[in-house]
Amino acid sequence: MCYQEALQESGCLDLLELQDASQHLSWKAASTNEVTFACYLANKLDIRVEWDPFHPDLIASAPDATLAALACQAPTINTD
């Protein structure tokens, strides 16, 4: 996954930290990973992007009723 690879390669803990670290990269070095490149461009445009797609508590902190409602709305897959 590009996101996790970008964090690991740069030694960063989250996207904001990666945006700060990417300011020191060259265009060519930043473009080796899509997420790193996006952070590089965000830094050049002087914008901050916050996103944590794999936060460990995302599902765990959701109420059971919310999870049940989402499960009911999800399309079913016909395996016949």
- Average of per-residue pLDDT across 12-31: 91
Angstrom distance (rounded) from CA 46 to CA 36? 15
Q: Which residue has the higher pLDDT, 53 or 43?
A: 43
Between 47-51, 59-63, 70-74, the lowest mean confidence (pLDDT) is in 59-63
pLDDT at 26: 93
Angstrom distance (rounded) from CA 31 to CA 46? 18
Q: Are 3 and 53 in contact (CB under 8 A)?
A: yes
What digits encode the pLDDT tens for the residues 10-20?
A: 899 888 899 99
Kindly report the pTM of this predicted structure.
0.62
Residue type, 72: C
Angstrom distance (rounded) from CA 55 to CA 21? 21
| Integer Rg of the chain from CA | 17
Whether 70 has a pLDDT exceeding 80, the answer reads no
Q: Provide the pLDDT confidence category of residue 73 given band limits of 50, 70 and 90.
A: confident
